[in-house]
Amino acid sequence: MTFDHDHQLCLDKLQWATRQLEVNISDTDLSKIAELIVQTMTGKWRYFHTPDHIFEVGGSANAIEVLAALFHDLVYVQVDQSVNFNLTFYIAPFVRERRDHLYIREGDDLPDDPFFELVRQAFAFTPGQQLSPFAGQNEFLSALVCAKVLEPFLSESLILKIVACIEATIPFRPVKEGLTPAEHLYNRIAAINTERNLGIEEEELVRSVQRAVRMANRDVGSFANPSSARFLDNTWSLLPETNHNLENPSSYTVNEYRIALQKMEGFMHFLTPELVFQEFKQEPKQAFYDNLLTRAGRNIEIARLYLGTKLLTMAVLEALSRRFGRDIPLSTIMGEMNPMGLQIEKLEDFLPEMPQQVSFELPLEREVLELLEKGRFSDSPYDIKNSPLSTMMVKIMGFDHIRELLGPSKAFFKDELDGEAFLTACDSKVVDIITESLSKLFDTRKAALMQTPAPV
């Protein structure tokens, strides 16, 4: 039922966009394109990059943006663990795989294809180049599929404008050689326009990059969400896309969950608002752009502290769990998520009521404490939305102490500090409370195991 619903929505958008552009494509052909898109976007590991995401990114006002958004996340190798089989028809003539890496074919192995060349030049990629998932691989391959799918129906100039929108969604790129990514994109599509005599006027070239920037900013729009709880929801939707062991909440280990958090925490420390949102010739307007940067900066700071706190919590649990094994499921330590509502004890049930022992002067710290205590906006399939253990630790230790312990915790993760030495460096009261609570949780399991069966 969900596939049929998404397919119809995708078909509706394709029909609307092509009519706006006065492109003649039959409903049968559009339905096939919609099926290709939706089947790919509903793959097993898609939690965030789903049909809902592409519908949102495209908006509803501009046909080129709508079409570009429908195609822009088709290929996501590190999420899907491969290129979807149905897409290989469009990609294989131009790209090969060698030792788990994808390469553009060498020049003498490439077919003479003007639409491939258009995409390659728009991305400034070269024959023989190794593609990187962190430097435009997915966007390039998605744009290539888009160009080849639409080639029978759209002009080169229209496909160039759509491809430009997809190129702009390569995220988190700094200024290079004194130019922003959008300025580089403008130079490339202007050169393509001249070389191919496409006849796109200067004003329309500028509008093409403005459209691309507008769509790219919607693609990362969650960074500017006024609600930090909703922003963190999106972050938690991204985690299982590249940490597939999180799919089963009863079996992923303490170590696996910690690694997922650690990667995201490191990523947040790499980010700046200027890497998230783009601007090109007053798109968006300066006041709106400044507001995007301000809100993104705030959400990034909140995420850094929130993730750092949860990471320290996992460090304590991982160090304690190593006393009886290195691959302990997190549910063994914390208790089952228990979606069926059964009477199953969890670690949080044995934590003492803890009054706040430190004060928080910074509004950001108070907000992070509230997020830990009350939770993100919604539960996720693999994790609860609030963090009782982290909340207790913050109330006892305060955020300054937590920040100080992140260094030793990362040394512990790299085996530069053993678990017992790390626990010694931690707040002894916190370690004692968690140890005692774990002991009580395990006692209840022992009692359940040892109970006498009722007579038959």
**Predicted pLDDT at 341:** 57
251 with 398, same domain? yes
456 is a domain residue: no
**Predicted pLDDT at 101:** 93
Is pLDDT above 90 for 69? yes
SS3 (DSSP) at 223: helix
DSSP state of 328: -
Q: Which of 219, 248, 278 is the last residue of a domain?
A: 219
249 is a domain residue: yes
278 with 364, same domain? yes
Tokens of 233: 């929801």
180 with 228, same domain? no
68 with 7, same domain? yes
The mean pLDDT value for 86-93 works out to: 96
350 with 427, same domain? yes
DSSP state of 175: -
356 with 248, same domain? yes
250 with 363, same domain? yes
214 with 280, same domain? no
107 is a domain residue: yes
**Predicted pLDDT at 344:** 76
455 is a domain residue: no
Q: Which of 202, 219, 236 is the last residue of a domain?
A: 219
Per the structure, the complete domain to which residue 191 belongs is given by: 2-219
* Integer Cα distance of 359 and 162 in angstroms: 52
Looking at the DSSP bridge assignments, the partners of residue 179 are 176
**Predicted pLDDT at 384:** 84
Q: Pick from 80-84, 167-171, 360-364 the range whose average pLDDT is largest.
A: 167-171
Is pLDDT above 60 for 339? no
Looking at the DSSP bridge assignments, the partners of residue 176 are 179
161 with 119, same domain? yes
Tokens of 109: 């192995």
Q: Which of 200, 219, 238 is the last residue of a domain?
A: 219
Of 67, 298, 278, whose CA–CA distance to 161 is shortest? 67
Q: How many domains does the chain have?
A: 2
63 with 154, same domain? yes
**Tens digit of pLDDT for each residue in 203-255?**
999 999 999 999 999 999 999 999 999 999 999 988 888 888 888 878 899 99
102 is a domain residue: yes
120 with 267, same domain? no
Band (pLDDT 50/70/90 cuts) for residue 337 is low
* Integer Cα distance of 260 and 258 in angstroms: 5
**Predicted pLDDT at 380:** 78
**Tens digit of pLDDT for each residue in 158-175?**
999 999 999 999 999 999
Tokens of 222: 């969650």
The helix (run of H) or strand (run of E) holding residue 104 is: strand 101-104
SS3 (DSSP) at 97: strand
340: exposed, middle or buried (C-beta count within 10 Å: 0-12, 13-18, 19+)? Answer: exposed
**Predicted pLDDT at 456:** 64
DSSP state of 266: H
289: exposed, middle or buried (C-beta count within 10 Å: 0-12, 13-18, 19+)? Answer: middle
Tell me the longest C-alpha to C-alpha distance in the chain.
89
326 with 424, same domain? yes
348 is a domain residue: yes
Is pLDDT above 60 for 340? no
